[in-house]
Structure 1
Amino acid sequence: MIKSLVDHSPDPVMLLRDGMIIYNNQHAADLFGVLNKNALISSNIFMSVSPTSLLPFQQLLLNQKQGSTVNFEEFIFYRHGGDCFEAEVKAIPVLFQEEKAVYLLIRDTKERKKTEELLLQTEKLMAAGQLAAGIAHEIRNPLTAIKGFLQLTEDHHNDTKPYFEIIHAEIDRIELILSELLTLAKPKEMKFKVMNKVKELLEDVTTLIETQAILNNVEIVTNMSSCTPSIECDENQLKQVFINLLKNSIEAMPDGGKIIIDLEVIQNSIQIAFLDNGPGIPDHLLNRVQEPFFTTKEKGTGLGLMISKQIIENHSGRFHLSSDAKGTSIIVTLPITYPGSEAVNI
């Protein structure tokens, strides 16, 4: 009976007696990195527990042995390959082969924590969107009046024209920030159509950004597959993403450098990699650069990367950022569209 419960449990389960594993299911074998279910039997569970978790884990087993109610507790374990993982554990006293044993239920917390993180990020985005819409509308109205009166005043002060040009430039920048805030609050309707010119789109974007690259002593190198399959996309939105990623790389290399754009077909996807050899993003900031309003730039809005990621995900694609002292890499993966697929608007 107990064996059947263990074998049919959707979670990793072990039966212990005095710390020795006397039975387990295949899920437990998979979790601890062994192929054969029986490979764990007769091994000591304490050998797979991290030293930092050993005393609390022993206390957990002792508590259940004494009849205390034991809830799920988190511990760190080692797999047979050597890497560690966090898991929540519940110990239940049972009878196995007419002797006392411990029914140990183990759940890897990685997926749960990933889901919690995703929910938290979603809540942040919703709050940021509502805040952004309010700020944008409140600023845009007085800004329109300021701009109008500035133009009237400018006509009567030709001698201070350079100052007015600076003011206009700063107002334009405020309007750009407001547009990004409104995009965050209410993304533009995406008009999807099937396109087989991703290579040409990247070449257009590269040509557009090349002047800024030259001025900043940055070389852009492209390695693109000569033939790219069709994808279903909003061309303008993708162009916005590519421009934003290239501008970020250029601005990250004030002393010059190189950007490599790789375009290749991998299985059922088109993969576009943007690689630069800048100083990279410090580890303590890497997880924050995609948060709303977080920026390391003096004049940044903290929205560009987040909006870019959102656009790629709206295309059913993937957006992966990594960075170290040798540079930053952003890989965009977009699914290939096969003949017969229909474009949609979202």
Structure 2
Amino acid sequence: MSFFENKETISVLNAIGENIFVADTNFDIIWINDYTEKMIGNLSEFIPVQSKDDLIGKNMRMFHENNGEKQARILTEGPFPYESKINLFGCYTANIVVNQLIIDEKLKGYVVTWKDVTNYEKRLTTIKDALDQSMYVTVVDKAGNITFVNDKFCDLSKYNKDELIGQSHCLLHPDAYYPESFYEDIIETIKKDSMWQGEVKQKAKDGTEFWVDMTIIPFVEKSSPDFYATIQQDITYRKEAEELLRRSEQLSVLGELAAGVAHEIRNPLTAIKGFTQLSSSSDPYKKIMLDEIERINMIVNEFMMLAKPHEVEYAPKNIVLIIKHVIRFLESESNLKNVFFRLFSSEEVFVNCEENQLKQVFINIMKNAIEAMPNGGYVDICVAKENEQVQISIKDEGVGLAGSEIKKLGEPFYSLKKDGNGLGLMMSFRIIENHYGKYQIESKVNEGTKITITFPIYKEDL
């Protein structure tokens, strides 16, 4: 070819570390550089050539055994430069760039640059497989919609891929858990082509929440990120351990405080109560004073339980009878407020427990349910066996709780009641845990609250 008669030009093209093909307008190969010898050796078992000279005159369609005509049409139509990734014979991967060869304003053919990326793709696949097996991966487009999730993330979130692909990433975020400023900070960071890393709480399909250590990586094309990949590690167990440690430290501090304060309060309190009882029965404030003194005494008793938890004796008891006893105990109060209990249980279920402590748990929870329904309503109590566990759900039709309020339930001195101190629920949750039980709180504002408690069934009752 006349345009390659210059030996310096040929030397330069041969020195370039890429496979370079020149083809005519029919894609018949008319020149290739020396670098292609290695590629020919790799593909010799798939195409009938042994050297680069054997390729001269052959049509480039031979490299595309199943769709050669389609590839030729695409290359002819452009646009140019045309860039693509191709896989040959299932074992060779290349990035190609096709440019038109224009001489004297006439199309003379095409120049194809062919970069072998087979080993790179294999390494990338290995890394992807490793990530797929060890990490939770999602990809989100610039509109915030999920375009890819791996199997491990589906296992963690309890969604299948079809339920996630195309959905907004907000699907996974607990309602109102993070302020708008939290998301604005993330967006500002990744818009600057910077990675964002932090710990994030997410919500699974069944409503349970989990924590991930998340890294968001923006992939930029042209001037702005085109999509974002998130690589996540499940840190739920670590966060739960931190929360348990935090609560344990709170209880420890509270116990020390209780030990020092409770006795100091009790002595003058006993004297005040005695003199109040001796005061004139016609005093209009006597009953109010005695009620308030009794309330202080109850708080002191709860402090004492925190300071010196006493040994308890466990025995198998019928949980249904315990609940029925509590319902009868609270019926007079509930009837006055137009609240009615409905118990759903078809059988006896025994748990190994300290009966009075469990009564206290159910009293605290049911009293809260009554107080949450100022306009009356129903409290539904369901007792059911599930495998080797008994599940007790207590659901009201009250004002409900926001997500941020649910999170704080059980913390000392946190209460939504005007005269509450938060110790009742804190002690209740502690009693449940001491009985090897678990609890879960679900609530929606203006719809009500459901508390589900699970205990192991007494083995001889299985």
Settle same-fold status: TM greater than 0.5: yes
Aligned residue number for residue 188 of structure 1: 310
In 1, distance between residues paired with 2:343 and 2:299?
A: 30
Aligned residue number for residue 334 of structure 2: 213
In 2, distance between residues paired with 1:59 and 1:22?
A: 25
In 2, distance between residues paired with 1:337 and 1:84?
A: 31
Out of 431, 434, 447, which is 1:311 matched to?
431
CA RMSD of aligned residues (A): 3.6
In 1, distance between residues paired with 2:414 and 2:151?
A: 44
Out of 142, 150, 159, which is 1:34 matched to?
150
Say whether 1:200 aligns with 2:302: no
Q: How many residues align?
A: 281
In 2, distance between residues paired with 1:54 and 1:22?
A: 30
Is the 2:210–2:236 Cα contact (8 Å) retained in structure 1? no
CA shift, 1:136, in A, is 1.7
Out of 268, 275, 280, which is 2:388 matched to?
268
Return closer, same or farther for 1:26/1:333 CA change in 2, 3 Å cut-off. farther
- Which amino acid is 1:331 matched to? T
In 1, distance between residues paired with 2:234 and 2:266?
A: 49
- Which amino acid is 2:136 matched to? L
Q: Deviations over 1:59-115 (max 9, x none)?
A: 56xxxxxxxxxxx9547799xx9x9973266xxxxxxxxxxxxxxx96433332232
In 2, distance between residues paired with 1:318 and 1:106?
A: 27
- Which amino acid is 2:263 matched to? H
In structure 1, the gaps of 5 or more residues are 1-15, 37-47, 61-71, 90-104, 342-346
CA shift, 1:27, in A, is 6.8
CA shift, 1:240, in A, is 0.8
Say whether 1:23 aligns with 2:100: no
In 2, distance between residues paired with 1:206 and 1:76?
A: 41
Greater relative contact order (Cα 8 A, min sep 6): structure 1 or 2?
Answer: 1
Correspondence list, 1:149-168, <5 A: 149-152=275-278, 154=279, 157-160=280-283, 162-168=284-290
CA shift, 1:281, in A, is 1.4
TM-score by length of 1: 0.71
Aligned residue number for residue 237 of structure 2: 111
Correspondence list, 1:49-198, <5 A: 52=187, 55=190, 74=198, 86-87=212-213, 107-152=233-278, 154=279, 157-160=280-283, 162-195=284-317, 197-198=318-319
User: More displaced, 311-320 or 25-34?
Assistant: 25-34
Is the 1:320–1:332 Cα contact (8 Å) retained in structure 2? yes
CA shift, 1:177, in A, is 1.3
Q: Per the alignment, in what secondary structure is the counterpart of residue 127 of structure 1?
A: helix
Q: Deviations over 1:36-71 (max 9, x none)?
A: 9xxxxxxxxxxx9x97498499656xxxxxxxxxxx
- Which amino acid is 2:443 matched to? S
Is the 1:88–1:109 Cα contact (8 Å) retained in structure 2? no
In 2, distance between residues paired with 1:310 and 1:279?
A: 25
CA shift, 1:295, in A, is 0.8
In 1, distance between residues paired with 2:274 and 2:320?
A: 43
TM-score by length of 2: 0.54
Is the 1:269–1:334 Cα contact (8 Å) retained in structure 2? yes
In 2, distance between residues paired with 1:296 and 1:85?
A: 27
Q: Which has the larger radius of gyration?
A: 2
